[in-house]
Structure 1
């Protein structure tokens, strides 16, 4: 059966749940066989204040969050949507913290490790002038998916980037890079990745 990967993005009130930040929106784009096959998006109300800076960055206001479903309801729903499908995010160190923290409040745990398209792009596209998600996608020539810093648009951008990186590994190195391979690759140093890929040419 073809592998699915659930690409996840959060919009939040701050940088870390350890500092009291909470999510305001979650988006998921599920990829399979080279395309996006399913999507999930919802705003959520965690009772947290959205600062003017965050509102300007994301377009998500306090009024929008107040009218959104409770965070526990949304997180339970998105966890069911993802199930045990392997996960990926761009800068997964950020999104995985919020995923783990919010599921932890529900007494749940994630089902898989996160692959990280930021780490992977640094290893596979070291020549890129920027590895931020929007800049990298424009440099590669991938399509616009909507407003940056909205969860589903960013999840779709990261999904397209993941598919692009998997395509590069297949076309240039004859490597079918499943989620497990990607997780292993991102843990290697840039020099080790270069040596590995040279050996596979």
Structure 2
């Protein structure tokens, strides 16, 4: 665990993001909100922070871990819609996290209005953040390639510039034994990370 945390820290140092979706911001937080989802058997909620980005502008960054596993598709879709309805009141929003989204069971993400999926707009390629084929730490797991993690944006005063996948390389000289059978490399996480760059419209 210590080595994985160090690897995540190295990614933070390398990319030096202004806001990190694990409760860290270089910018001043004006307000914090949390709202439990109306339908959740796993106690899921949406957490949001209103950030002062200067020039009399604020940016709301929100995160959630939507309901897991295929049988919970209906709840997951309901939660996604509920989250966007709640965040719609703000002019500038980045909603990012482990959405557990699966187009096969959940259909397209319910964007609507001015909402945009950053990866779909800027990249267009599959963008699997959970990939048992490329993340060799997951060898032996049920085969799965899904874009579970996303940035969903609604931006009036900013524009999306770039989105990249990070944390998709094994940590050098670190391995673990799985099921007493396989020795596998260790990655920073079982999910790959995403880093989004935005710029002011002014």
Query: Is TM > 0.5 for Structure 1 vs Structure 2?
Result: no
- Determine which structure has greater relative contact order: mean sequence separation of CA pairs < 8 Å that are 6+ residues apart, divided by chain length: 1
Higher helix proportion: 1
| TM-score (normalised: structure 1) | 0.29
Higher strand proportion: 2
